[in-house]
Amino acid sequence: SPSDPDLVERARTAKAKLGDRVFVLGHHYQRDEVIQFADVTGDSFKLARDAAARPEAEYIVFCGVHFMAESADILTSDDQKVVLPDLAAGCSMADMATAEQVAECWDVLTEAGIAGQVVPVSYMNSSADIKAFTGRHGGTICTSSNAQRALEWAFEQGEKVLFLPDQHLGRNTAVRDLGMSLDDCVVYNPHKPNGGLTAEQLRSAKMILWRGHCSVHGRFSLDSVEDVRNRIPGVNVLVHPECKHEVVAAADYVGSTEYIIKTLDAAPAGSKWAIGTELNLVRRVANAHPDKEVVFLDRTVCFCSTMNRIDLPHLVWTLESLAEGTLVNRIRVDEETEHYAKLALERMLALP
């Protein structure tokens, strides 16, 4: 839908007034009305890498969700202030692993006698506390664009991986990219005693997957893939690796949001695509390629509600407040958490 022209003008004016003092980052799942004001757009990896690209900017306005803003705070200098236009923009997947639950899990692994063999690998979509846990225990962060390299690195450091918090990305990467079998993976359920696993199961597993998932991608099913193949003969099915294993196994292409955009840019005119990811991105890709047929993988699945909380009114309020000298919605990670979380994030940034 077209943005309110008055709000567009206000955002433009406030951003111009701030000039080089503000740097606006936008994740690919953001609304069109917001993404038009981003200085850089990207997937989670690109945004983490580029967060520190403008050390002279006093404010980094992060149009995305809370864990992304935390990561930007960790990776930038102390005098740069990271701002999230709506503090309620969280991520249901990140909320599925709390620091207490993960500490308890580590105790379970210790009891089973395997903690010394386990390397934690945490998806970017996790709180700063979980990233700090990961750094403390010699592990790395990964995103959907480097999960394979992160897992390969981790298996050079130890025999087992504890993958947090997205079971699907963990399983898909282990099976699809590392050639492991489904039997090498077990699922640790933080709501059950001992994760719902016996010590024997933990000892024989290679991948210990945390029982978390993305509520948006979790809704695509094998039926979605079969239906679209019947409806559109010759369609290419392209999905995000946060989808369930059976969906990823049935797809033709799998990758991060940046990969999805690049794949469509490189696709020949007349080709047909069904995309399984968040709707703002699918719509934008469809609009950018009128010469190709681009459809949403499942017509009943929709937006990420927390990504969508960042809308033009929130962005206008944020930019106008900053332009008037009022710092709002700062995201700040405490020093100790930052220290260990940074170790884990820097291991990711250093992956080959």
CB of 327 to ligand SF4, least distance (A): 25
How would you classify residue 19: left for phi > 0, otherwise alpha for psi between -120 and 50, otherwise beta?
left
Q: Site mask, ligand 13P, residues 183-222, x = CB under 6 A?
A: -------------------------------x--------
CB of 126 to ligand SF4, least distance (A): 10
Task: For residue 30, state whether it binds ligand SF4 (rule: CB under 6 A).
Answer: no
Task: For residue 57, state whether it binds ligand SF4 (rule: CB under 6 A).
Answer: no
CB of 301 to ligand SF4, least distance (A): 11
Output 135 or 212, the one with its CB closest to ligand SF4.
Answer: 212
Task: For residue 257, state whether it binds ligand 13P (rule: CB under 6 A).
Answer: yes
Identify whether the C-beta of residue 117 lies closer than 8 Å to the C-beta of residue 158. yes
Among positions 28, 31, 54, 131, the unique one binding ligand 13P when judged by CB under 6 A: 28
Taking residue 249's Cβ as centre, other Cβ atoms within 10 Å add up to 14
Name residue 210's beta-bridge partners. 188
Residue 257 among known ligand-binding residues: yes
How would you classify residue 179: left for phi > 0, otherwise alpha for psi between -120 and 50, otherwise beta?
left
Contact partners, residue 229, CB within 8 Å, separation at least 6: 235, 237
Task: For residue 144, state whether it binds ligand 13P (rule: CB under 6 A).
Answer: yes
Residue 18 binds which of ligand SF4, ligand 13P, none (CB < 5-8 A, kind-dependent): none
Distances in whole angstroms, Cα of residue 251 to Cα of each of 198, 231, 278: 34, 15, 16
**CB-count exposure of residue 252 (10 Å: 0-12, 13-18, 19+):** middle
Nearest alpha carbon to residue 114 among 220, 30, 188: 188
Among positions 13, 92, 201, 263, the unique one binding ligand SF4 when judged by CB under 6 A: 92
Residue 125 among known ligand-binding residues: yes
Note the residue count of the chain.
Answer: 352
Name residue 23's beta-bridge partners. 60
Task: For residue 197, state whether it binds ligand SF4 (rule: CB under 6 A).
Answer: no
CB of 277 to ligand 13P, least distance (A): 7
Contact partners, residue 38, CB within 8 Å, separation at least 6: 24, 25, 26, 30, 63
Strands (E) across 136-189 are located at: 140-142, 160-164, 185-188
Residue 304 among known ligand-binding residues: yes
Task: For residue 216, state whether it binds ligand SF4 (rule: CB under 6 A).
Answer: yes
Residues of this chain that bind ligand SF4 (CB under 6 A) = 29, 65, 91-93, 125, 214-216, 278, 304, 306-307
* Residue list for the binding site: 27, 44, 91, 123-125, 144, 214, 240-242, 257, 304
Interface residues with ligand 13P (CB under 6 A) are: 28, 43-45, 125, 143-145, 214, 240, 242, 256-257
Binding residues for iminosuccinate: 27, 44, 123-125, 144, 240-242, 257
